Amino acid sequence: MKKGSKFGTHRVIQPEGILPQPAEIISNDMEIYDNEILIDVQTLNIDSASFTQIKQEAHGDEAKIREIMLGIVSKYGKHKNPVTGSGGMLIGTVEKIGPALEGKIDLKVGDKIATLVSLSLTPLVIDEILEIRINIDQVDIKGKAILFESGLYAKIPSDIPENLALSVLDVAGAPAQTAKLVKPGDTVLVIGGAGKSGMLCLYEAKKRAGVTGKVICLQHNDHAKDRVMNAGLSDHFVVADATNAVEVLEKISAITSDKMCDLVINCVNVPNTEMSSILATKDDGMVYFFSMATSFTKAALGAEGVGKDVTMIVGNGYTKGHAEITLQIMRESKTLRDIYETLYA
């Protein structure tokens, strides 16, 4: 059996010598190397920014969505959206484990897992698309995938439905980072707070900021206002266009008496929301860009252009304990779990 690199560089076809994620094309030959795991894939959870772009390109037509997804995987050997650069994650069953990993990992053949690394670096074959759940970014398939030795994963817990676990684990980095960043008494704004990652961030922000803190949910319409407020996830619900930085500045300034926010968390899946996040943050505050639609150039030069001294963090999909933290939210909040089972499972 062929020996592989821990990080999967042996799979890179073009350009050679780089890691699988930034590579344009990787090998999706499903004959595993000695340090790889073969997965029988059940469901793909496509990154929100990516699936939004695909739906727009397809004008919501499911046949066209299938064509676009199959084309991406056929061309690149992985599901890396060429427009957004992002992927998603998957759920499946362990089919084979390379001999170099035996005794080193807590997996066995037959275990059901969710991968916690992006589809934008995961060798993937789609034999057939069975169902597209267009409102929750999930696609059931017949297919196979490869997990590298360095790849993160979580076993699917028995007490949480599989599709629910997949949905929340896809955005596990956001609430886990929120838990690390929010301090008691902080004023926190979550842009896109009524979405899948946003509500998890609101929950952790409320828990960590405490009774002396203030949590604000910003959404582009008020359709989810009752759901968010009745669940006790936020102290204020603001309706504003996150691409309109002046509008956001004025509304957040009014709520905070011009003090602005200690921490702004951006969870939206559309571009051009960088300046709203920056202007809503107080000087010496922090912006956490979890959105895959974020432009580093727009954020860096935009902050400079308005003279804002803020710390900006690029959302890392991984932080220690992120899977455990996110699944625990589903266990400790029946209200939030009911919402997510209705919307995303």
| pLDDT grade for 1, boundaries at 50, 70 and 90 | confident
Q: Which pLDDT score, from 0 to 100, does residue 42 have? A: 96
* 317, 326 contact by CB (below 8 A): no
In a shared domain, residues 177 and 52:
no
> Is residue 164 a part of any domain in this protein?
no
Boundary of a domain, candidates 127, 156, 185: 156
Q: CA 208, CA 190: separation in Å to the nearest integer?
A: 14
In a shared domain, residues 81 and 134:
yes
In terms of residue numbers, what domain contains 55?
Answer: 9-156
In a shared domain, residues 241 and 122:
no
> Is residue 103 a part of any domain in this protein?
yes
| pLDDT grade for 291, boundaries at 50, 70 and 90 | confident
In a shared domain, residues 190 and 113:
no
What secondary structure letter does DSSP report for 178?
Answer: H
| pLDDT grade for 221, boundaries at 50, 70 and 90 | very high
> Is residue 100 a part of any domain in this protein?
yes
State the average pLDDT over residues 304-311. Answer: 95
State the average pLDDT over residues 45-57. Answer: 93
In a shared domain, residues 111 and 231:
no
> Is residue 218 a part of any domain in this protein?
yes
Amino acid present at 293: A
State the average pLDDT over residues 69-76. Answer: 98
State the average pLDDT over residues 83-93. Answer: 94
> Is residue 162 a part of any domain in this protein?
no
In a shared domain, residues 183 and 112:
no
Boundary of a domain, candidates 156, 190, 209: 156
Tokens (6 digits) for 327:
């699944």
> Is residue 297 a part of any domain in this protein?
yes
Q: Which residues of 227-246 are buried (b: 16+ CB within 10 A; e: fewer)?
A: bbeebebbbbbbebebbbbe
Tokens (6 digits) for 277:
């996040």
> Is residue 165 a part of any domain in this protein?
no
> Is residue 337 a part of any domain in this protein?
yes
Which phi and psi angles does 255 have, rounded to 5°? -70, -35
Within 10 A of 59 (CB to CB), how many other CB atoms are there? 8
Q: Which pLDDT score, from 0 to 100, does residue 203 have? A: 97
Report helix, strand or coil for 89.
strand
pLDDT in tens, 101-152: 988 899 999 999 999 999 999 999 999 999 999 988 999 999 999 999 999 9
The CATH number linked to 276 is 3.40.50.720
Whether residue 345 is predicted with pLDDT greater than 80 in this model: the reply is: no
Query: Which residues does 222 contact at the CB level (< 8 Å), separation at least 6?
Result: 237, 239
| Helix or strand holding residue 130 (H, E) | strand 124-133
Q: How many domains does the chain have?
A: 2
